[in-house]
Structure 1
Amino acid sequence: MIGGVYRARQPGVLGSAFVVALLPALVQAAETDSGESDKQPRIDEVILVSGKIPTAEGDYAGSVSVHEKWWLDRQQPLTLAALAGQTPGFNIVDTGSRNPTPLIIRGLRNASVSSDDLGGNGGTVTRYIDNIPLQGDFLPPDMQLLDLEQVEVLKGPQGTLYGSSSLAGIVRYSTAKPQLGDYQTELSASITDTAHSDDLGYATTLVSNLPVGDTFAARLVLSKDEVAGFIDNDYLLTGSASDINSEAGEQARLSLRWQPSERLRVDGSYHYQDRTVEDRQASNEPFTGDAYGASSRFLQPADTELHMANITASYSFDFATATLIQSRYDYQTERRADQTDYLLWLDEVYYDSSFYSPYEDFASETVSDFNVSKDTTELRLTSPESADVWQWLVGAYYSKDKIDGTVVDLAPGLDIFWGLDEPEPRDYYAEQIEELGESAIFAESSHKLSQHWTVTLGGRYYDQSDDLTICSMLPMNDRFNGVEPTPYCDADEESDDGFLWKASAQYETTAGVRWYGVYSEGFRRGGSNALPAGVENNRTYSPDYAEHYELGVKTNELWSRLSLNASVYVIDWKQIQQSAYEVNGYLVNVNSGSALVEGAEIEGYWSLSPSWGLKFGGSYNEAHIDEPADAALDMDAYPQKDDRLPGSPREQWNLALDGRHSFGAFELDTLVSLVTVGDSTTALNETFADYQNLSGYTLLNAHAGIEWGAWYLAADIDNITDERAITGGRYSPEFGQQGRFDYITRPRSITLSARVRF
């Protein structure tokens, strides 16, 4: 990646396992209970689509968290942070909307928790919007989560069905689909007051379901929003500015459905999102003395535009259902960032403070401009819906990613100071051109051996390629030394293939309680290290793999009022991709070392009464280095055995009290939620320059809504206590005191919204 050209076992596990061990007693009680369970509301059964065969959640042998529409609709605005907070074992590094948000499931992350402006390859969690995969070498921005039907978080490696980048799991957003014969339009608007901000935010959304005849329907979603910033900066070269992290965006989605018969259905969709974020959601309190004060010399905006299209056609034969999926996304981004402190550090280390430092007004900013596209084709056959004893699927997959981008460091005025004849003040220029290909065949089969036992076996063969070219030059440095600036290009190709397995067994008791065991594998793609032609070592690096073992229990109707899932797991992560220096001093990716993850999770929903319910969850996750990287590698710092993997808390808990009440013509719904996240680290140990131990935090949110005929009015308060939590940042000494920063959570926000249907 072109950003790399500069050289630059705990008691809690036993306690959680003890909770799981107590579940047999609950199961026995459920089997013998003859109380008044019929007086309590039954918990609806959830249908999963992420297994690629529609399956009742209780029948899925594995750990999955499902957020249904009723809960999603009560999060205004719905954010990735809200989803993660209510999902045991899943957390994010909340960087705001400017940067792609790192997703972490069950602690599988090795990279430091840093700025990561472009969201480069290295993710272990894949996101899907319906059948569109959002993964690759440069990740698209976070989508505005609108008009969703369901969100599913599959935890543990999912390589057999989802291939690369599903090393830790997947997050799948299911959008609401067009409904045949049902005309409905919904218009909503909201205003938001954010603490420490001078402005109000607003959002407007139109959702319209438009049937045409009996066989065709369209669904249209249009939205526009402005989000108020809350970070101030008194250090900008252009003068002080307030609320610099404000943002604005537009989004549109058109979904189509044609269903001329019960056998044939064709779904199509087009998504568009344009978003501008003025600066980071980050502050530098140690430098500014202000908890919400930034210190960069330049505003650091990000402009992103995303186009996504998908067509999914399925036909039900008597023996199987055939599904063809074709999708594409195009992603363009332009970002600017303050580079001053880093170049001054380079000047001190490499030029003896003789190049940049003599210019008293020296300042520099980086401009990155990237265009990324991804085409995906998948064809699969699945067993007919009527299949009971034997369910199966076979499929083929192909994808191609294309990346074309530039990174330029600008130093305004430095060219004039040195008397250089340079058309523009480019201190550094780099271009990356890359094409990634992946093809695979996969299969999965589930067989019901008896009334109680079901076994599943799956596998995937994959073949991947990486064709990479990187060109770079130092225009002003070359002219300073009397040399005509000329790009120097490195190119290489890499390919690899492999096979992944999955196996599971599930036992269902007469009370409907299901016990399961799972073994699954996942991987993250390898790649090419762009090196000069004369360098023979480390030209490529290989995939890293995870082997996953899990035991769990789930039930949908303990006493007809309690839904409960619990599991314990172990993940062995091998040949981890890490950064090191090649013998000639070039920064490269290598494979070395292993990590071990041990943990336990529990979550469920308890229907306390016809009006009240309690959504709850918790996890304990011990993710640590098991075998350190090879000591012979040339690294700035070295992992040690038992180092915690960065970015992931050991403990995470959530509670949400849900209320639904009728008052004549009015329907009142309420939701009060509490999220507690434990402490985390930003790097493996204190020898790493950017190591920080980040304190845990607790967030309290509340929602209340009133429905009256076609109208719905709601009030939401997020982060009621105005908690300022640090989730990551930039701490390496080469960025200096002024260039460091902390990513922080959004302050207390109060949102008033109204919706009308007609």
Structure 2
Amino acid sequence: MQKFTLTPLATALLLIGTSALGQSAPVPAAAASSPTSSDASRKPTAQLDAVTVTASKRSEAAHRLPYNVTAVSEQALRDANITDLKSLIKDSLTFEAPPNSARFTDSVSVRGLNVSSVSANNIEWFSRSTLSYYLDDAPLPNIGFRIKDIARVETLLGPQGTLYGGGALGGTVRYITNKPQLGVTEGRVSSSVFHTRGGSDLSTDTDAVMNLPLGRDLALRVAVARLDDQGYTDRYAGTPNYLTSAWQPKPNASQVLYKDDDWHRATTGRATLLWRVSPDLSLQLSHGQQSGTAHGSSGTQLLRVASSANGAAYRAGEALGPDTVLSPYPEFTDRDIRISTIDLDWRLPGWGQLHSSTSRYRDDRIGQADYLGTGSFFYGDLGYSRFRLGSSSWAGNTAYITYANRYSGTLHETRFVSDPGPLSWIAGFFAASQQRSQAFSEWMPGLEALKTPGRGATDEGYFEDQASRYRETALFGELSWKASDRLTLTAGARLFAYRDRTATQVEDYAFDLVTGVVKAEEKDSGQSYGKLNAAYQLTPDLLAYATFSQGFRRGGANGFRGAGSVAVADELKGYRADQTNNLELGIKGFLADRRLYLQANVYQIRWKDPQTYFSQDINGFPVWGTTNGPAALSQGLELQWRWKPMASIEISGGSTYTRGEWDATKEVCLYADGTECRTYAKGGKLGGNAPWKHALSVRWQGEFEGHQVWASAGARYVGVKNSDRGDDPADQPFQYKAYTTTRASVGLAKGDWDWSLWADNLSNNRELVSFQGTSAVATRVGLRAIYLTPRTLGLNVSYRF
């Protein structure tokens, strides 16, 4: 496990806070305020609350923004036990990702925009998200940062390339942190104790927040959190009775069974210093970091099958019992995330607001994974019979892989937001310098004696690294014209230039089929994406809108090699940026004296040059890469609503429908002579998204003997979905069955105390939602099936002071 250490900036912020504990300067009475008591914040009201968001780069009520935007408050996040992106996705009707273990980084998709396999994979560059992620105003390569001391989470659906740049093909997720409060001394300590059925021990999730005034115009906010998830899945490291070859369990040769091996530990910290330079100018420094280990994998080992056709591999019986995986080697991911930000806000009276944000981040993810089935296939069936499962010359060794994914970057954005008026506008500048390295190695103990001397590290059979250095500058803006009291027209654009230098290294140390580095450079200037919007205020609280918006994602290079004298086709040496064009019609706002909130829309997204996986075969050895498929089309509808039939009861629900498919036919050939081709045919279905999803929840709030009490219950339905794309209308990928999950919670608040009891997957539904392995694995050792997390019960306690 990696150690949790502080950078100089974080250390300085914490030292300032420590010195201020006994030296707070007096604060004017007008600036002082007491912390909001938890029971007061829960008192029911007769009307639904309006939510303010900053998704449009200015503070506005969510129901007045002419696109699908939602916000989940801090209290709602805590009540639903949402602490990370995976739990947010699990609770969402609009996002899709396989609910795999914390060890994996998943392909997150929205609105049907997915061409990746919906399964667990150790190799990170197989994951391709169609969402962009932000921590406040800082874009990040992934969201692994836990949701702690967060004011709200905003989700913007539909392409957001104009204001949010690359990666926002289908939308953007923003974590908005709580800011330091001037003149306020307050804090909170919260802890959650929970247990998952099948696990042996209780898990804990504890966090603390402190807000300290350091003077009239200075304040510090510090938040720390610690997760100790004890897990519930066992690892069997020995040889099961359905396999004849024997191997030595790792790391302890005398231990076969490891109980609750899928544990997760994470320590998170964030310190923010706010300085009000003048009434109109403020400066904020913040540093956040998180270190932890996600160990093992949830799942159940299935028996091997003679053929994985017709879904047999997914329906095979349990090999070792429920919630037990087969893995001779321990599996883990160590992750360290650090982000430092400087924000400046300058109010220019009569003009607007200037905001500048500069951030530096680093995200390292290193780990190890078992490679039992695939490793014996590559190093046994394809080359060395000594390593083949069941071989009489079996050496008792099995394969494993290691991986190291590193991201770092410096990002800057300056924007000016005008005051509201007949003409209002946003104008900004963005610059980014980012580095990426995604590497992994395959290891086979005993291989060194069989391979070419001096090639790679000892027993290393394969190495691959996809590295890049990316620079981008952009100008962006929006102009809104209030054409009448009811009608507002908006146009926006983003103009940018970029340079992407890539170096893909592939080294086949075992068979010497592939070696060397392929370098490429992609650059362009004058690229632009736009947005057009018309919003009509039907009533003061009800809005109708029509919008056209665009999103994009950067391209990259492949490591494909020529075959003898035949060169790789120019098109396959790299892959182009892909683009989405979205048409959307919607209505949103309050009805029935603000007792009913409705948000409904229909959309159609045309996806140009979608990036999808492609592989090269070299004498049976695969080299993985990416290509641009034909145009794709996604269309659907989204409905969300909240209703207060009385002050003490709120009922909410929603439904989404999406359908995605190839909208054209395209043949992609690997070599310049037109050989080794794949055809993507019009009508082939895009996988990974359930056509229908529904949700319904009921919440009651009341008072009992001076205590604020509440209870809630909810259900979520996810329809049948394909596990992968189909490249022809006749293709029938394996389908995950539809399922419904339920949850319930009750809570009590008195003064500054909050207590709540909660249960997830109340009915303990056990449905297959993901898997790990390939057809080769299925026929040799069996797939690893991943089911819904079993029933989990928890107790939350929170104290404010």
TM-score band, normalised by shorter chain: 0.7 to 0.9
Q: Residues 247 and 512 of structure 1: is their aligned pair in 2 closer, same or farther, counting only changes over 3 Å?
A: closer
Matches for 1:367-382 after TM superposition, within 5 Å? 367-382=402-417
Matches within 5 A, 1:60-75: 60-75=65-80
- 2:283 is the alignment partner of 1:249: no
Q: Which amino acid aligns with 2:613?
A: S
Aligned position for 1:518: 547
SS at match of 1:288: coil
Amino acid at match of 2:118: V
Cα pair distance change 1:361/1:71, threshold 3 Å:
same
Identity within the alignment, % = 24
Deviates more, 1:428-437 or 1:555-564: 428-437
Q: Which deviates more from structure 2 when the two are superposed, residues 626-635 or residues 658-667?
A: 626-635
1:606 aligns with 2:638: no
Residues 74, 671 of structure 1: 8 Å contact kept: no
1:401 deviates by: 1.5
SS in 1 for 2:776: helix
Q: Tell me by how many angstroms 1:407 deviates.
A: 2.0
State the alpha-carbon separation in 2 of the partners of residues 322 and 465 from structure 1: 28
1:651 Cα deviation (Å)? 0.8
Show the counterpart of 2:581: 547
The answer to whether the Cα contact below 8 Å between 1:691 and 1:731 also exists between their aligned partners in 2 is no
8 Å Cα contact 2:667-2:678 kept in structure 1: no
Q: Kindly indicate whether residue 467 of structure 2 is the aligned counterpart of residue 462 of structure 1.
A: no
Letter in 1 for 2:762: I
Distance 1:419 1:442 in 2: 54
Q: Sort the Cα spacing of 1:638 and 1:699 in 2 relative to 1 into closer, same or farther, 3 A.
A: farther
Q: Contact 1:295–1:739 (CA<8 Å) still a contact in 2?
A: no
> Which residue is equivalent to 2:203?
201
CA contact (8 A) 2:121 2:772 kept: no
Q: Write the mapping of 1:689-728 to structure 2, written as runs, cut at 5 A.
A: 691-728=733-770
Matches within 5 A, 1:219-368: 219-236=221-238, 237-238=249-250, 239-285=256-302, 286=316, 288=319, 290-318=321-349, 319-347=351-379, 350-351=382-383, 353=385, 358-368=393-403
Are 1:685 and 2:726 counterparts? yes
Which residue is 1:752 aligned to? 795
For residue 335 of structure 1, what is the amino acid of its counterpart?
Answer: G
Q: 1:118 to 1:273 in 2, by over 3 A?
A: farther
Query: Which residue identity does 2:263 align to in structure 1?
Result: S
Amino acid at match of 2:338: H
Alpha-carbon distance in 2 for matches of 1:111, 1:420: 38
Q: CA deviation at 1:548?
A: 0.4
Residue 421 of structure 1 deviates from its aligned partner by 8.2
Q: Which runs of 5+ in 1 are unaligned?
A: 1-38
Superposed displacement of residue 394, structure 1: 0.8
* 1:409 lines up with 2:450 in the alignment: no
1:735 to 777, 788, 798: 777
**Aligned pairs for 1:569-588 within 5 A:** 569-580=603-614, 587-588=624-625
- Structure 1 residues 202-217: aligned runs within 5 Å: 202-217=204-219
**Shift in Å at residue 710 of structure 1?**
2.2
Q: Which of 520, 525, 532 in structure 2 is aligned with 1:503? A: 532
Matched residue of 1:630: which SS?
strand
CA distance in 1, matches of 2:322, 2:230: 17
Whether contact under 8 Å (1:548, 1:569) holds in the other structure is yes
Amino acid at match of 2:55: S
Cα pair distance change 1:101/1:591, threshold 3 Å: closer
Change (3 A) 1:510 1:406: closer
Is contact 2:534-2:547 (8 Å) kept? yes
Q: Secondary structure at the match of 2:374?
A: helix
Distance, in Å, in 2 between the alignment partners of 1:187 and 1:596 is 48
The question of whether the paired residues in 2 share the 8 Å contact of 1:668 and 1:707 is answered with: yes
2:133 paired with 1:122: no
Match of 1:50 in 2: 55
* Number of the residue aligned with 1:24: none
User: For residue 593 of structure 1, what is the aligned residue in structure 2?
Assistant: 630
Contact persistence 2:606–2:633 (CA under 8 A): yes
Quick one: distance in 2 between partners of 1:465 and 1:407? 25
Figure out how many residues of one structure are paired with residues of the other and give that number. 708
Match of 1:20 in 2: none
Question: Aligned in 2, Cα 1:730/1:622: closer, same or farther, shift over 3 Å?
Answer: same
Q: Do the aligned partners of 1:245 and 1:279 also contact (CA within 8 Å) in 2?
A: yes
Deviation at 1:712, TM superposition (A): 1.6
1:10 is matched with: none
Amino acid of the residue matched to residue 201 of structure 2? D
Find the counterpart in structure 2 of residue 12 from structure 1: none
Deviation at 1:635, TM superposition (A): 6.8
Alignment correspondent of 1:80: 85
3-state SS of 2:375 partner: helix
Following the alignment from structure 2 to structure 1, what is the Cα–Cα distance between the partners of residues 634 and 283? 42
Q: Deviations over 1:23-81 (max 9, x none)?
A: xxxxxxxxxxxxxxxx9722222112121122211221111122123312312353435
Contact 1:301/1:336 (CA < 8 Å) preserved in 2? yes
C-alpha deviation, 1:465, in angstroms: 2.0
Cα distance, 1:452 vs structure 2:
0.8
Q: Shift of residue 700 of structure 1?
A: 0.9
- Give me the CA root mean square deviation: 2.7
Cα distance in 1 for partners of 2:325, 2:645 equals 46
Gap regions ≥5 residues in structure 2: 1-43, 239-248, 251-255, 303-315
CA distance in 2, matches of 1:586, 1:710: 58
Following the alignment from structure 2 to structure 1, what is the Cα–Cα distance between the partners of residues 634 and 454?
56
User: Aligned equivalents of 1:280 and 1:527: distance in 2?
Assistant: 30
Deviations 1:715-740 (A, max 9, x none): 11111111223322234213344263
Deviations 1:598-651 (A, max 9, x none): 111111211121111112111111122222332656678654433331111011
Q: Kindly provide the CA deviation profile for residues 657-705 of structure 1, in whole angstroms up to 9, marking residues without a partner as x.
A: 1221122431112221211111111112398999420012111111211
**Is 1:49–1:55's contact at 8 Å kept on the other side of the alignment?**
yes
Conserved in 2, the CA contact under 8 Å of 1:552 and 1:565?
Answer: yes
Worse-matched range after superposition: 744-753 or 631-640? 631-640
Distance 1:169 1:595 in 2: 17
Take 2:184 and 2:196, find their aligned partners in 1: how far apart are those partners? 38
Q: Is the 8 A contact 2:62 2:70 kept in 1?
A: no
Query: Against the structure 1 CA distance between its residues 439 and 729, is the aligned structure 2 distance closer, same or farther, given a 3 Å change threshold?
Result: farther
Partner amino acid, structure 2, of 1:223: A
> Is structure 2 residue 519 aligned with structure 1 residue 491?
yes
**What SS does the corresponding residue of 1:747 show, helix, strand or coil?**
coil
Looking at structure 2, the residues matched to 372 and 694 of structure 1 have their Cα atoms a distance apart, in angstroms, of 33
The 2-side partners of 1:344 and 1:684 are apart by 28
For the residue of structure 2 that corresponds to 1:721, the secondary structure is coil
Distance 1:419 1:401, change over 3 A: closer
Partners of 1:690 and 1:342 lie apart in 2 by 24
How far 1:364 sits from its partner (Å)? 0.8
Deviates more, 1:303-312 or 1:264-273: 264-273
CA shift digits 1:5-35 (9 cap, x unpaired)? xxxxxxxxxxxxxxxxxxxxxxxxxxxxxxx
Mapped to 1, the partners of 2:506 and 2:534 lie a distance apart of: 53
Q: CA deviation at 1:85?
A: 4.7
TM-score (norm 1): 0.88
Code of the residue aligned with 1:129 in structure 2: it is L
Instruction: Note if 1:97 corresponds to 2:102.
Output: yes
Partner of 2:376, secondary structure, is helix
**How do residues 33-44 of structure 1 correspond to structure 2 at under 5 angstroms?**
41-44=46-49
Matched residue, 1:170: 172
Amino acid at match of 2:597: S
SS of aligned partner of 1:245: coil
Equivalences for residues 625-664 of structure 1 within 5 A: 625-630=662-667, 638-664=679-705
Letter in 2 for 1:490: V
* 2:300/2:785 contact within 8 Å kept: yes
Residue deviations 1:419-442 (CA, integer Å, cap 9, x gap): 978862222233443212222111
Are the counterparts in 1 of residues 629 and 680 from structure 2 also a CA contact under 8 Å? no
Instruction: Tell me, in whole angstroms, the C-alpha distance in 1 between the residues paired with 2:766 and 2:279.
Output: 53
Residues 302 and 40 (structure 1), Cα distance of their counterparts in 2 relative to 1, 3 Å cut: closer
**Are the equivalent residues in 2 in contact too, given 1:189–1:754 (CA < 8 A)?**
yes
